[in-house]
Structure 1
Amino acid sequence: MSERPLLLLVGIGYEPHRGYLLRSIAQTTDVWLLDHEPVTWEAPYVIGGTAVDIRDGAALLAAAEDVARSRHVDGVLCWDELKMANTARVAQRLGLPGVSPDVIDRCRDKHRTRTLLAAAGVPQPRSILVGSPAAAGEAADRIGYPVVLKPRALGASMGVTLVGRPDELPAAYDHTRAQHVDQARYYDAGVLVEQYADGPEYSVDSAVVDGVVTPLFLARKTSGFPPYFEEVGHVVAGADPLLADPELRRHLAMAHEALGFDSGMTHIELRRTPTGWSVIEVNCRLGGDLIPFLGLEATGVDAGQIAAAVACGRTPRLTGDPDRAVAAVRFFYPDTAIVVGEVRIDKSMLPPGTVLAAPLAEPGTEVAPPPVGHVWGRYAMVVVRGTSIGECQARLATAAAAVSLRPR
Structure 2
Amino acid sequence: MATRALILLEGTRNNGPLYVQGAQHLGLHSITLSADPTQYDYLAAETAAAIRVDTDNLDALIQECSRLRATYDIAGITSAEESVYAMVGKLCRHFDLPGPNPASIERCCDKFAQRQVLAQAGVPMPTYRLAADAMEAESAATEIGLPVVLKPAVGHGSSGVRLCRNLDEVAEHTTYLLGGKHIWRSSPRILVEEFAQGPHYIVHIMGNEVFGIEANEFDRPPLFLFRQGIFPAPLTDDEYKCIADVSLSSLRVLGLGWGPTCIEVRWTKRGPVVIEVNPRLSGAPQHIQLAYGVDLVTEHIKLVIGEKWDLRRRHSHTAAWRSLLPDRDGILDWIDGVSRAAAVSGVAWVKLHVKPKTRIIRKGDYRDSMGYVFAVSPNLARTDAILQRAVDLIEWSIIPFPTEQDRLAASHLSAPPQVPRGTE
- TM-score norm. by structure 2 comes to 0.84
**Residue equivalent to 1:271:** 266
User: Partners of 1:375 and 1:307 in 2: how far apart?
Assistant: 23
Q: What does 1:367-378 correspond to in 2, within 5 Å? A: 367-369=360-362, 372-378=363-369
Identify which range, 61-70 or 89-98, moves more after superposition.
Answer: 61-70
Task: Kindly report which structure 2 residues correspond to 1:39-188, keeping only aligned pairs within 5 A, or say none.
Answer: 40-43=44-47, 50-177=51-178, 180-181=182-183, 184-187=185-188
CA RMSD of aligned residues (A): 2.6
C-alpha contact (below 8 Å) 1:205/1:287 kept by paired residues: yes
Q: Which has the larger radius of gyration?
A: 2
**1:258 maps onto 2:253 in alignment:** yes
Question: Residues 215, 374 of structure 1: CA spacing in aligned structure 2 closer, same or farther, 3 A cutoff?
Answer: same
Residue number among 239, 242, 246 corresponding to 1:247 in the alignment: 242
- Measure how far apart 1:108 and its partner are: 1.1
**Partner of residue 379, structure 1:** 370
Aligned pairs for 1:324-363 within 5 A: 324-348=316-340, 351-363=344-356
What CA distance in whole angstroms lies between the structure 1 residues aligned with 2:370 and 2:261?
27
TM-score by length of 1: 0.87
Deviation (angstroms), 1:119 = 1.1
Q: CA distance change for structure 1 residues 241 and 31 in 2, over 3 Å: closer, same or farther?
A: farther
Secondary structure, aligned partner of 2:74: coil
Q: Which residue of 2 aligns with 1:390?
A: 381
Which of the residues 297, 300, 308 maps onto 2:290?
297
Question: Contact between 1:201 and 1:271, CA under 8 Å: does it hold in 2?
Answer: yes
- Contact 2:231–2:319 under 8 Å retained in 1: yes
- 2:16, 2:98 → 1: CA distance? 22
Q: Look up the match of 2:18.
A: 20
- Would the aligned equivalents of 1:238 and 1:295 in 2 still touch at CA under 8 Å? no
Q: Secondary structure at the match of 1:245?
A: helix
- CA–CA separation in structure 1 for the residues paired with 2:90 and 2:215: 33
2:396 aligns to what? 405
Q: Cα deviation per residue 1:307-359 (whole Å; 9 max; x = unaligned)?
A: 112222322112213x5211111111222101123322343355321111132
1:128 deviates by: 0.6
1:364 maps onto 2:362 in alignment: no
Q: Is the 8 A contact 1:334 1:379 kept in 2?
A: yes
> What is aligned with 2:303?
310
Say which SS state the counterpart of residue 60 (structure 1) adopts: helix
Per-residue deviation, residues 77-96 of structure 1 (Å, max 9, x unmatched): 11111221222221121111
CA offset digits 1:345-400 (Å, max 9, x no partner): 3433553211111321133322144xx44322222321111233333332222222
- In structure 2, list runs of 5 or more residues that go unmatched: 400-424
Q: Are residues 167 and 83 of structure 1, via their aligned partners in 2, closer, same or farther at CA, if it must alter by over 3 Å?
A: same
Q: What's 1:11 paired with? A: 10
Give 1:241 shift.
5.0
Q: Structure 1 residue 70: deviation in Å?
A: 4.0
Check whether the contact 2:82–2:279 (CA below 8 A) recurs between aligned residues: yes
Counterpart-to-counterpart distance in 2, 1:270 and 1:363: 37
Residues 110-154 of structure 1: CA distance to partner in whole angstroms, max 9, x if unpaired? Answer: 000000111111111111101122111211222122211111111
Moved more, 164-173 or 293-302: 164-173
- Count of residue pairs the alignment pairs up: 390
Q: Which residue of 1 aligns with 2:28?
A: 30
Secondary structure in 1 matching 2:94: helix
The answer to whether the 8 A contact 2:216-2:226 is kept is yes
The aligned amino acid for 2:368 is G
Deviations 1:48-90 (A, max 9, x none): 6544343444333222222234443332111111221222221
Q: Does the 8 A contact of 2:159 with 2:364 survive in 1?
A: no
| More divergent stretch after superposition (17-26 vs 240-249) | 240-249
Corresponding residue for residue 215 of structure 1 = 210
Residue type of the partner of 1:306?
E
